[in-house]
Amino acid sequence: MTSTIFALSSGSPPAAIGVIRISGPRAGAALEALAGPLPAPRTAALRWLVDARGDRLDRALILWFPGPRTATGEDLAELHVHGGRAVVAALQAALGAVDGLRPAEPGEFTRRAFANGVIDLAEAEGLGDLLAAETEGQRRHALAIAGGALSRQVEAWQQAILEASARIEAILDFGDEGDVDADEARPRAIADGVAAGIARLLAAPPAERLRDGVRVVLAGPPNAGKSTLFNALAGREAAIVTDIPGTTRDVIEAPIVLAGQPILLIDTAGLRDGDDPVERIGVARAEDALAGADILLWLGDPGAAPDHPDLIRIGARCDATGHRAGVDLSVSVHAGEGMDRLRDLLIDHVRALLPREADLAVNARQRAALEEALEGLHLATSPDALLFAEGLRLARVALDRITGRAGIEDMLDGLFGRFCIGK
Amino acid sequence: MPDSFDIIVVGGGHAGTEAAAAAARMGARVALVSMRRDMIGAMSCNPAIGGLGKGHLVREVDACDGLIARAADHAAIHYRMLNASKGAAVQGPRVQADRVRYRAAIHELLADLPSLEIVEGEAASLRLGGPEGRRVKGLVLADGRMLAARAVVLATGTFLNARLHFGMRHVAGGRVGEGASVPLAEQLRALDLPMARLKTGTPPRLDGRTIDWAALDRQESDADPWTMSPLGKGRVAPQLFCAISRTNAETHAIIRGGLDRSPLFAGVIEGQGPRYCPSIEDKVVRFGDRDGHQIFLEPEGLDTHLVYPNGISTSLPEDVQIALVRSIAGLDRAEIVQMGYAVEYDHIDPRALDSGLAVRAMEGLFLAGQINGTTGYEEAAAQGLVAGMSAAAFAGGTQPMRFDRTESYIGVMIDDLTLHGASEPYRMLTARAEYRLRLRADNAPTRLTGAAIAAGMVGPERRAWFESRMAARQRLEEATTERLSADRMADTGAQVTRDGSVRSLGEWLRFPGVGADTLLALRPALADIDGDIIAEFRTDAHYAPYLARQEDEIQRLKSDDGIALPADMDFAGIPGLSNEMVERLGKARPSSIGAAGRVRGVTPAALAAILVHARRRAAA
């Protein structure tokens, strides 16, 4: 017997409203226990909620969604209560006392929706991202995935590969008996087309950047003004600033949002060969941060800047040192000079690194499956028809892992639907 | 007192003879019950054995010491390796067999099995016992004789409610000239097993003396002297040629003109026919844009003039059949000796069976062949082998051999049948086997003979042959481990690029430019090893990188197959499964989460729900 779970589904109290969700076979019984007879499905009703002793807990809006056509695929109830801590706690206690109910684990509602076939894996992942979305770009992207945009694209590829498979299988199983089109050019063209599409998607920026932010690393020699600039960009005194070279020992991170773009700002220890063991560790960490940087803000001698594909050379403290040659931009935090231009420049660079709104971005799991599919399609360029078919099969298996599964019978359906086959 | 046996096999077709022989090889006392002794081993339909997928099954049955390949070699009057130009894994050996010689070979092979007795008689009913009569005790014959046995294998072909259609005329019966077995059918119906209706058909038979052979393209028997079985005397019968012709626009017009009198299109036939060898009227209707369909004219034997026109199976009325045949090039004066007809019959939904082809609801009852919804001699023979072996293991209390879909076409077929059922007559295709790179017709003994020996199914002659073959393979493997440079290979005559690469000799063999001659030049001591063993070894090397890639997938599959589901799992009680899934899962009763995943329409999400449910149940 599946257990029935409940949880506060809105943000943590105190808040104006608290939404408590109950999902599972005893959701209806639990609603009746607290609110009396079930209201009409999918219609809000205003009721007094009471506990087992009959004590009134809150006057609330309740909703009843009988399964399976619900968000979780199970019977589902919602209590829209007043969002005070005591009210929510009392209701959770009352629900916990109902037989067969228990508090939900993190993500359990979504997991049930997946387990009950309401959403597929890609949609579940999108939904997870949607709930965690903090910026506008993240929200739009997560909404597209949760709405099945990636699933639809993958399904289109699956259909195409299925057709190519059906054609090549017909040639393999019936080619010698006449009656089938023995031309391999068409299935090979289909496979090439899908391979190109997957390669394009893989070339797009990864979804993790949307979730975790673009990694902008400030680096340079000691006492170059990195931490001052870092604090200015972060809008708070996150890093300690002194005139003493080597003040910043560790890597300091601050998530910020510029024009709706998520950025992870990273300050690092000044790069130099020192004797202080703590500073040496800090420099090693700085070098690691540099290696993982999406964008590098270099505050040292422009000629000494490390090799990086997305490098911005900054001439800092331009109010004191004057404008240096060879830099992309001169700024002075104290004079406020160049800061707006720096932000604009950063936004441009960040935008180029994030998936555009029209783009589908994939996460690491999806990327691995797509890479495997692509590998299969590369094998499918083998002149041996058998290996071609094997490559298509590998691609199907890999794509199936993203959304669903297309069995051999689906392929045979494709095969027989398209061809006249003599015995 | 009834005559007592370990196993009773009902039916002397391809399934029945393999079942009886497999059980007898395992030492069981077997009664092979057939209405007519002389009809045992008859080829009821086309004269061909093997083909793509089907040839694989023949080689696999042979690897388990079955009959079909040796009988086919004895009877073969034409050999053809299908897909000879394509990869080794999809090459299909196929022969035309002389009916008389085939039947004689089967009789001879059966006579070699001392514990097998042929009982001539009509099976009337099963003798049942046990709680609620759910255990088989033996068989009652129509003349009142009683036979006792621990297990019964039914391999009765299309006998269940069979109906022959000649145009709009129809008669009851299994094959032309033989009666249909009705009382046993009534008893099976009473068992309340799920059943469905299928149809199959046959083309008109032609008198070869009235065919204008000179006007047609000839197809000669393969010159390369391969055989179906490595055991036996090789090619013993004279080789004949086949011919190829085509239907044309006029043929199609004649067929369209006769559709109103076709039982298929006039609604008389309700059974589901195969998608892959449809009747010619089906092809014309479904693929109306095609200007012609290929026909193979296959001689039926050495001592007969009968010719089987493969490709024009039909149940159209007589006058239409004559007209359509005569519209075809080379057949303008052809005489039809026997009209084509369609057969409709009931079959048991094979999802009622377990992986040993035992009926779950009736202890000791096994089903094999067309009764399970399959078509074809090879599919029947392979099921007969499985059912006979499983019945003998059941009766003797020994461990049966399990056929896995990652290791054999037999395993693919059993898995497909018991999980998906047969919505149309099931025919083997290489496309059904997802791991076909390893399931080749040329390596069937390597894959299966060892396990068949362990199950006690293999006689001494094949056992000796197999052991010497494995010893030879072992020598090959040991002699090819040394790592050699590209230069060394090229110096020995191999067509490889001198790119400085170094590989083991075994790995070098996967390159097309490294032939058996190079191997023997480097390792002259291997010269006494059979060419086909070296060929198998080279093909293994050729596919090795791809097989390694499949290994993970197979391991995943096996681990999923290792998660057992209880036999009485209540799928309807699992939230989130659609009604369709519940119905399919309930019928197939998958024994593991892996098998459940192969039931059609079951999504990964549903699998997750089943898994969670099974775990929860196990914990409760």
Check residue A406 and give its pLDDT: 40
Give the mean model confidence (pLDDT) for residues B132-139: 90
Contact B313 A405 (CB under 8 A): no
Contact B609 A172 (CB under 8 A): no
Residue A409 has pLDDT above 50, yes or no: no
Q: Are strands A329-330 and B135-141 parallel, antiparallel or unpaired?
A: unpaired
Q: What is the pLDDT of residue A423?
A: 24
Residue range A177-203: mean pLDDT, rounded: 83
**Contact A114/B608, CB-based, under 8 Å?**
yes
Q: Which pLDDT value is given to residue A412?
A: 47
CA A307/CA A44 separation, integer angstroms: 61
Look-up: residue for tokens 């390792």? B523
Name every residue whose Cβ is closer than 8 Å to that of residue B408 and which is 6 or more positions away in sequence: B60, B439, B444, B447, B448
Give the pLDDT band of residue A134 (cuts 50, 70, 90).
low
* Distance in angstroms (rounded) separating the CA atoms of residues A212 and B378: 59
Domain covering B562-619 in this structure, CATH number = 1.10.150.570
Q: Considering the domain B205-220+232-341, what is its CATH architecture?
A: Beta Barrel (2.40)
pLDDT score of A105? 75
Rounded Cα–Cα distance for residues B422 and B437 (Å): 25
In whole angstroms, what is the distance from residue B394 CA to residue B401 CA? Answer: 11
Mean predicted confidence (pLDDT) in A286-301: 87
Pairing of strands B306-310, B205-207: antiparallel
H-type helices in B513-588, by residue range?
Answer: 516-522, 531-561, 579-588
User: Hey, of B45, B46, B276, which one would you mutate to test binding to chain A, going by the most A CBs within 10 A of its CB?
Assistant: B276
Residue A382 has a pLDDT of 81
Reduced 3-state DSSP string for B298-332: EECCCCCCEEEEECCCCCCCHHHHHHHHHCCCCCC
- Say how far apart CA B430 and CA B373 lie, in whole Å: 19
pLDDT of A386 strictly over 70? yes
What's the alpha-carbon Rg for chain A, to the nearest Å? 29
Q: What is the pLDDT of residue A128?
A: 66
B287 is in an annotated binding site: yes
Taking the Cβ of residue B600 and every Cβ of chain A, the question of whether any pair is shorter than 8 Å is answered with yes
What's the pLDDT at A177? 63
Cβ–Cβ < 8 Å for B504, B482: yes
**Is B83–A172 a contact, with Cβ atoms under 8 angstroms apart?**
yes
Give whichever of A7-11, A132-136, A202-206, B552-556 has the largest mean pLDDT. Answer: A7-11
Is residue A383 within a helix (H) or strand (E), and if so which, with residue range?
none
pLDDT at A348 over 70: yes
Tell me how crowded residue B220 is: count the other CB atoms within 10 A of its CB.
12
Mean pLDDT of B474-486: 92
Count of helices and strands (H, E) across chain A:
15, 12
Q: Are strands A101-103 and A4-8 parallel, antiparallel or unpaired?
A: parallel
A222-230 mean pLDDT: 87
**CB atoms inside a 10 Å sphere around CB B272:** 16
Asked if residues B58 and B50 have their Cβ atoms less than 8 Å apart, the reply is: yes
Whether the pLDDT of residue B299 is over 80: the answer is yes
The Cα A185–Cα A164 span in angstroms is: 10
pLDDT score, position A176: 66
d(C-alpha B206, C-alpha B214), whole Å: 16
Q: What is the pLDDT of residue B181?
A: 55
Assign residue B375 a region (left: φ > 0; alpha: ψ between -120 and 50; beta: otherwise).
Answer: beta
Question: What's the farthest any 2 CA atoms get from each other in chain B?
Answer: 80
pLDDT digits (tens, 9 = 90+) for A354-367: 766 556 667 766 78
pLDDT digits over A165-177, tens only? 888 888 888 776 6
Q: Is residue B33 within 8 Å of B17, Cβ to Cβ?
A: no
Best A125, A165, A172 residue to mutate vs chain B (most B CBs within 10 Å)? A172
- Residue B541 and residue B437 in contact, taking contact as beta carbons nearer than 8 Å: no
Average pLDDT, chain B: 88
Asked if pLDDT for residue B180 goes beyond 60, the answer is no
**By the CB < 8 Å criterion, does B570 face chain A?**
no
Are the Cβ atoms of A422 and B553 closer than 8 angstroms?
no
Query: What's the first-to-final CA gap in chain B, in angstroms?
Result: 50
Q: Do residue A120 and residue B605 have CB atoms under 8 angstroms apart? A: yes
Domains plus CATH for chain A? Answer: 4-115 (3.30.1360.120), 149-204+362-418 (1.20.120.430), 210-353 (3.40.50.300)
Q: What's the CA gap between A243 and A197, in Å, rounded? A: 53
Local confidence band at B148 (pLDDT 50, 70, 90 cut-offs) = very high
Q: Which two tokens stand for residue B7?
A: 């196993």
A268 is in an annotated binding site: yes
The average pLDDT across B347-363 equals: 93
pLDDT at B572: 86
Q: What is the pLDDT of residue A41?
A: 94
Closest CA to A418 of A230, A167, A132, A197: A167
Q: Where are the domains of chain B?
A: 3-159+349-454, 205-220+232-341, 460-546, 562-619
Mark yes or no for CB contact A117/B87 under 8 Å.
no
In the prediction, which pLDDT does B218 show?
93
Residues of chain A contacting B608 with CB distance shorter than 8 Å: 114-115
**Average pLDDT estimate for B153-158:** 90
- Residue pair B331/B245 in contact by the 8 Å Cβ criterion: yes
Which of A259-263, A304-308, B358-362, B610-614 has maximum average pLDDT? B358-362
pLDDT for A68 equals 84
Q: Looking at beta carbons, which residues of chain A come within 8 Å of B311? A: 179, 422-423
B575–A67: do the CB atoms touch at under 8 Å? yes
Q: What is the pLDDT of residues B439-458, one digit of tens each?
A: 999 999 999 999 999 999 99
Decide which of A239 and A378 is more confident: A378
Whether pTM > 0.80 for this model: the answer is no
**What integer is the mean pLDDT of B165-177?**
68
Q: What confidence score (pLDDT) does residue B230 get?
A: 93
Q: Which residue has the higher pLDDT, B315 or B60?
A: B60
* Contacts for B26 with CB less than 8 Å, ≥ 6 apart: B389, B392, B393, B396, B398, B455, B456, B457
A4 neighbors A24 (Cβ within 8 angstroms): yes
Q: What does the pLDDT read at residue A277?
A: 83
> Which of A173, A410, A412 best tests the B interface by mutation, with the highest count of B CBs <10 A?
A173
Assigned token pair, A406: 């297309």
CA distances from B237 to A313, B46, B51, B220, B300 (A): 87, 18, 20, 14, 13
Which of the residue ranges A6-20, A238-252, B59-73, B528-542 would you say has the lowest mean pLDDT? A238-252
Contact predicate B374/B381, CB 8 Å: no
In chain A, what are the helix, strand and coil shares in percent, each to the nearest 5?
45, 15, 35
pLDDT per position as a tens digit, B202-259 = 899 999 999 999 999 999 999 988 999 999 888 999 999 999 999 999 999 999 988 8
For B579, nearest residue in chain A (alpha carbons): A68
- Over residues B396-449, the pLDDT tens digits come to 999 999 999 999 999 999 999 999 888 888 999 888 898 888 999 999 999 999
Calpha distance B132→B186 (Å, rounded): 18
Would you place residue A420 in the very low, low, confident or very high pLDDT band (cuts 50, 70, 90)? very low
The type of residue at A422 is G
CB atoms < 10 A from the CB of B223, how many? 7
Least confident of A167-181, A211-225, A397-411, B184-198: A397-411
B31/B33 Cα distance (integer angstroms):
6
Answer for the pair A316, A224: CB distance below 8 angstroms, yes or no: yes
Contact A68 B575 (CB under 8 A): yes
| B606–A contact, CB cutoff 8 A | yes
Residues B615, A232: Cα–Cα separation, whole Å: 55
Q: What is the mean pLDDT of residues B462-480?
A: 94
Q: Does B294 touch chain A (CB under 8 A)?
A: yes
Q: Does the CB of B244 have a partner CB in chain A at under 8 Å?
A: yes
The whole-angstrom distance between residue A117's C-alpha and the CA centroid of its chain comes to 21
Which chain A residue has the Cα nearest residue B611? A115
Lowest mean pLDDT among A60-64, A157-161, A234-238: A234-238
Q: What letter does residue B232 receive in the DSSP assignment?
A: S
The residues, ordered by sequence, that sit 6+ positions from A284 with a Cβ below 8 Å of its Cβ are: none
Query: Would an 8 Å CB–CB cutoff place B556 in contact with chain A?
Result: no
Cβ <8 Å between B276 and A115: no
Residue holding tokens 């694989």? B56
CB B423 within 8 A of CB B273: no
Q: Is the pLDDT of residue B332 over 60?
A: yes
Of the CA atoms within 13 Å of residue B55, those in its CB half-sphere come to 30
Q: What is the pLDDT of residue A287?
A: 86
* CB–CB contact A117 B578 (8 Å): yes
The mean pLDDT value for B543-565 works out to 80
Chain B residue numbers touching A386 (CB-CB < 8 A): 86-87, 89-90, 436-437
When CB atoms are compared, the residue of B276, B283, B606 closest to A117 is B606
Whether residue A337 is predicted with pLDDT greater than 90 in this model: the reply is: no
- Binning pLDDT at 50, 70 and 90, where does residue B366 land? very high
How many inter-chain contacts (A to B, CB under 8 Å) are there?
125
- Top CATH class of B3-159+349-454 equals alpha beta
Region B168-191 average pLDDT: 67
Residue B242: per-residue pLDDT: 92
Of the segments A8-17, A47-56, A277-286, A393-402, which one has the largest average pLDDT value? A47-56
Task: Locate the chain A residue with the closest alpha carbon to B620.
Answer: A1
DSSP state of B211: S
Please check whether residue B516 is in contact with residue B534, taking contact to mean a CB–CB distance below 8 angstroms.
yes
State yes or no: pLDDT of A417 exceeds 50.
no
**Residue B160, phi then psi, degrees to nearest 5:** -75, 110
